[in-house]
Amino acid sequence: MLGSSVSRIDGPLKVTGAATYGADFAPDGLVYGYVLTSTVGNATIRAMDVSAAESAPGVLAVYTPFAPLKLLAAAGPLGRMWLPLRDMEVGHHGQIIGLVVASTFEQARDAAMTVHVDYDVRPAVTSLVDAMPDAVIPPVTDGEPSVLTFLAEGVSSIEDALAASSHCVSATYSTPVQGHAAMEPHSTVARWDHGTMIVHTGTQGVDVVAADLAVTLGLDPSQVRVITPFVGGAFGGKVFTSAQTYLTAAAARELDRPVKVVLSREQTFSSTWVRSGTVQKVSLGADSDGTLNALAHDTWAARSALVELPGGEPSAHRTSRSWYASRNIAISHRLATLNMPPNAIMRGPGEATGSFALEVAMDELAVMLDMDPIELRMKNYATVYPGRNVPWSSKHLDECYSVGAERFGWHRRNPSPGATLDGDWYVGMGMATAVHPNFRSTTSAKITLRPDNMAEVSCSTGDLGTGMWTVLAMIGADSLELPLDRIEPHLGDSALPSAPLLGGSRGTANVTSAVHAAAIEIKRKLIDLAATHPLSPLRESPNIRYANGCLECGSQSLDFGALLRMVGSDGLDVVTSTGPGSEAQDYAFCTFGAQFCEVRVNRWTGEPRVSRLLSVIDAGQIINTKTARSQIVGGMIWGVSAALHEGLHLEPTGRLANGNLAEYLVPINADIKEAEVHFLTYPDHTHNPVGARGIGEVGIVGVAAAITNAIYNATSKRIRTLPITIESLL
């Protein structure tokens, strides 16, 4: 079962429109909210005139910082969140500064348009380059010191190590602010049901939203329930509880009416979360045989004026920190404050941006050394985690390179840049490394065996579109030795046994491990029931075994449903928790990949086209090969997007110039030709009993660098700024 290709069991629900996303919930008596957003980037609100809105048709309430909903500032599971309407400060254009609630959506929206706001406006800071001199070093970055240096004995500084290297490349790279652009806009439906707050909202963690709402609304955790069976894309943009959720829930309680708020497409860009832009300086020093003597990587990332979350793309910490076995490594992370929407994480946070800098720099070094880029990477292959000196639980990155080179036809690459022309098109190949960490988190799952011979598998995890419904059913089927159609999965409900938030590519590996453990326990419990219950036909039999849903003893066989019916049980269940063990001290855990790209660049127009992509991925045991492949392909397409299309432009006022799907460019089908995925499957039983590692993010990680390197190979133009524009290729 594990590793087979199974179509999504929720596919028919999705394609027929029967899947209920957050905004699809419509409790009786529903009223509608529309958020008011700031139209300046940096200001103090002086006054708000809401008189026209308050007397507009159908309006039930207008909440503003002058007439706020009560929200308690307290730390939830992810720290202290910014809460709307608590003061008069505006930190970014699009900040939520009010909520209008009315009988219909149109009434709420139209009334919101009549609100007049007076601001004391300050100049907005919108350029990372301008803000860099004021950047601060945060105390912690990605769980480590923000400035981190590992020097070989006798080496006094990274500068000395660079100076002592016979070959040195040093360059500055930059990446833009990006929006998650998930298909499903952020929304919240909240209902105050006799002392219980019931919420539906697209989120990466129903438990996180429930806990955040409990602390901000001053409720007992048992009084909040978040139910979200389907999420239409998240990518890090639904990790943190969004501002509209707090307001919607508080309004529902105050008005004692169910309230729905759905953000407009523009508001999902301006009023939720973004990925920070970065400026990164990378210096590589090597011996003439390619041995890395020094690796320095400094990151300046943007942080929103609004949030105190750690945030801000830990680019060096998630790449140069651990990717290569350099004798000397020095990394740093600095944060510069901009008047931009709050920065969250986004697919491959740190890795996707950091690899653009590191992996392009590696390509530049390979050119300088006249060395094959794969050979250079193999020359500096890390077998222990730098500074910790522990091995990875399972690492086959070397095989990713060799299998990838073979499958992609890397030997056909002409190492001379700009030398391959096919008609009007320059052709080039590039590659890059992709690494993403894995996180083992405490996870609980419940299995219920029912008298009708069905098994329920339950966990509060969600399905962001990744295929978790199917994965839950598959791991249930595999570990209970049952056909898939005898498993009933349940997820996306904070009342179910708790799962970690779906971030850091941790969903599948953690949830399957918990189900696996629960299956072992429920089998034991079932055998015990068969052996001890007075009405069991197997009572006092020795050596009862569980196989394929049946209890077996000698020549006797009894399916679990029959046993439960005989003993009059309406179901047998267990809840089991699993989490990290002592292995965390002895190993590092990462998913690895080698990513290859072929581009064609028009010699007259500079138009770049990605003609072929390949990822070879080492992610341990793959659970569902079909949806796993989709994850990697989706990541690669996003990598194309990052390389050639995406970037949010902050106008000097702080307004997003292109915060909409017409002008925020992402690839369409015609932009993607071949995107192939090959999995190496070495189950990683050191990481967890199922042997699976994460795959949600690794697919994006190296793609922008591979494309940039391929463009250099095609055109001899070295680009260090994303997205790559046609102008830069002319």
Q: Which residues bind ligand MOS (CB under 6 A)?
A: 204, 235-236, 239, 345-347, 349, 503-504
Going across the sheet that includes 89-90, the strands are: 89-90, 43-49, 116-121
**Which residues does 254 contact at the CB level (< 8 Å), separation at least 6?**
61, 69
Work out how close the CB of 462 gets to ligand MOS at its nearest, in angstroms, rounded to a whole number. 11
CB within 8 A of 15, min separation 6: which ones?
none
What does the block give as tokens for 80? 């202290």
Chain position whose Cβ is nearest to ligand MOS: 236
Residue with tokens 């200001």, as numbered in its chain: 43
DSSP structure string for 618-661: E-BS-S-HHHHHHHHHHHHHHHHHHHHT--BPBPTTS-BTT-ST
Minimum CB distance to ligand MOS smaller for 335 or for 530: 335
Residue 29 CB: number of other CB atoms within 10 A? Answer: 10
Q: Which of 463, 503, 468 is nearest to 231 (CA)?
A: 463
- The residue among 77 and 537 lying less far from ligand MOS, judged by its C-beta, is 77
Residues 6+ apart with CB under 8 A from 350: 142, 313, 314, 315, 317, 318, 319
Nearest-approach distance from CB 556 to ligand MOS, in angstroms: 50
Closest C-alpha among 221, 243, 250 to residue 498:
221
The residue written with tokens 């397409």 in the block is 637
Q: What is the DSSP letter of 696?
A: T
> Residue 275's closest CA among 642, 573, 20?
642
- Closest approach of Cβ 391 to ligand MOS, in Å? 25
Give the other-Cβ count within 10 Å of 491's Cβ.
Answer: 24
308 flagged as catalytic: no
Please, is 698 exposed, middle or buried when counting C-beta atoms within 10 Å of its C-beta (0-12, 13-18, 19+)? buried
CA distance 481 to 484: 9
What's the alpha-carbon Rg for the chain, to the nearest Å? 27
Close Cβ partners of 636 (under 8 Å, ≥ 6 residues apart)? 595, 613, 615, 675, 677, 699, 700, 703
* Amino acid sitting at position 75: A
Q: Helix or strand or coil: residue 542?
A: coil
The residue (of 48 and 345) whose beta carbon lies closer to ligand MOS is 345
Rounded distance between C-alpha atoms, residue 151 and residue 156, angstroms? 7
∠ at Cα 722 (721, 728), nearest 5°?
65
Residues facing residue 156 across a β-bridge: none
Closest approach of Cβ 697 to ligand MOS, in Å?
6
Q: Give 554: exposed, middle or buried? Use CB within 10 Å, 0-12, 13-18, 19+.
A: exposed
> With DSSP H G I counted as helix, E B as strand and the rest as coil, what are the percentages for the chain, rounded to 5?
30, 30, 45
- Hunting for tokens 């697209």 — which residue is that? 202
Query: In 447-506, which ranges are continuous DSSP H helix?
Result: 468-480
Which of 54, 481, 697, 727 is labelled catalytic? 697
3-class secondary-structure state, position 129: helix
User: Closest CB to ligand MOS among 161 and 234?
Assistant: 234
Which CB atom, from 179 or from 236, has the smaller least distance to ligand MOS?
236
Residues in the chain: 730
Q: Which helix (H) or strand (E) holds 706?
A: helix 703-715
Instruction: Please say which residue, 204 or 578, places its beta carbon nearer to ligand MOS.
Output: 204
Nearer to ligand MOS, 489 or 635 (CB): 635
Considering the complex, state which of residue 189 and residue 701 has its C-beta at the smaller distance from ligand MOS: 701
Q: How far is the CB of 228 from ligand MOS (least distance, A)?
A: 15
Of 615 and 715, which has the nearer Cβ to ligand MOS?
Answer: 615
Question: CB 703 → ligand MOS: shortest distance, Å?
Answer: 15
By C-beta, is 314 or 503 nearer to ligand MOS?
503
Minimum CB distance to ligand MOS, residue 277 (Å): 16
Nearest Cα to Cα of residue 111 among 25, 35, 211 = 35
707 sits in which H/E element: helix 703-715
Instruction: Give the shortest CB-694-to-ligand MOS separation in angstroms.
Output: 9
Query: Could you give the CA distance from residue 346 to residue 178 in angstroms, rounded to a whole number?
Result: 8
d(CA 242, CA 205): 12
Q: Exposed (0-12), middle (13-18) or buried (19+): which is 606, by Cβ within 10 Å?
A: middle
Min dist. Cβ of residue 726 to ligand MOS (A): 29
Of the pair 178, 479, the CB lying nearest ligand MOS is at 178
Q: Kindly tell me which of 350 and 659 has the beta carbon lying closer to ligand MOS.
A: 350
Which CB sits closer to ligand MOS, 457 or 692?
692
Report the alpha-carbon angle 704-176-314, nearest 5: 80
Catalytic residues: 697
